[in-house]
Amino acid sequence: MLNIGSSGVTLSLAGKVALITGGSRGIGAATVRMFRQAGAKVVFNYRSASEQADAIVAECGGGDLCLAVQQPLSTPEDGEALVAAAVAAFGRIDCAILNHGIWPAHDAPIAEMTSEQWRTTMGTNLDSVFGVIRAAVGRMKSQVQIGAERGHIVLVSSTAGQRGEAFHADYAATKGALISLTKSLSTELIGQGIYCNCVAPGWVATDATVGVLSDPEVSKRLLSLIPLGRPAHVDEIAAPILFLCTPFAGFISGEIFNVNGGAVLAG
C-alpha cells in the first residue's frame, strides 16, 4: 500500500506476510523489526538462538503477529519446511527475504580448503535458498492468480559476490550465485507478478563481525576500503530490503542494490 498523506510518506505492508530467514540476529533481526513496524506479519527462522528469537517475537507483538521457527537451513528440504511452517501459521507469503548465510571466519586458501567446508557453505548459502524460493514461488503464484497484488523476493548477497574475496572463495561463490539467481528469477517471474531483487551489503556491524571489526589493525585495513569509512548499521540494510517490497519499488526488478558505503566501486 502506497500512502502519501498529511503526515508524509509511509512504507506500509499492512495485510502482508513476510518470511525472513536468519531473523534472530544482525541484519535479519533488524529486518524483522522493520517489517513489523510497517504492518506485516512476520515469520522468521533461527537455528539455536532461542532466547534472542523469543525476545524479538515479544518485542514485535507476540505470536499472533510474529512467529519464530527453529529450523536449520542447509538443504532444499529445510527451506521447503520453513515455507510450509510460514503458510501454516499465517496462510500466505507475500515477501520472502533470503538473509541467512554463513561466513567461515578463518582464512582458507583454496589449496587447503576442505571439501566439508565447501559443502557446508554451499548447503547453507545456496541449496537452502533454492528450497525456500522454490516453495515460496509456488505459493506466490497461486496467490497472484486469486487476486493478490504481487509477490516479492529479496536475496541478500554481498560485495564479495561481485568482486570476490581471497581466502573465502566458498562464501564469495555463493554470494555471486545469488546475484545471478536474482537476474534469472526476475526474467522468469516478473511477468507473473513476482518481483526479485537483491541487496548487497558490505561490512555491517553485527555480533557476527564484532570479532573482526574490534581488531584495531584488521578494522583499520577493512574500513580503509570503504569510502564512508565505517561499517553499516543493521537498519541501513533492513530499510532498503523493506523498500524493495513496497509499491514505491514497483518498477524495479532484477536489480542489485549496493548498500556498502561505496566499497564495491573502490575495491
Other CB atoms closer than 10 Å to residue 84's CB: what's the count?
14
Q: By the 8 A CB rule, do 145 and 139 touch?
A: no
State the pLDDT at residue 7: 65
- The whole-angstrom separation of Cα 250 and Cα 195 is 9
Q: What does CATH list as the number for 11-266?
A: 3.40.50.720
Residue numbers of the chain with a pLDDT score lower than 70: 1-7, 146-148, 209-211, 213-214, 267
Of 256, 254, 200, 255, nearest to 232 (Cα)? 200
Catalytic (active-site) positions: 171
* Whole-Å CA distances, 159 to 114, 127, 179, 261: 24, 20, 10, 11
Question: Where is 110: in which H helix or E strand?
Answer: none
State the pLDDT at residue 214: 67
Q: Where are the domains of the chain?
A: 11-266
- Sign, Cα dihedral of 212, 178, 199, 32: negative
pTM > 0.85: yes or no: yes
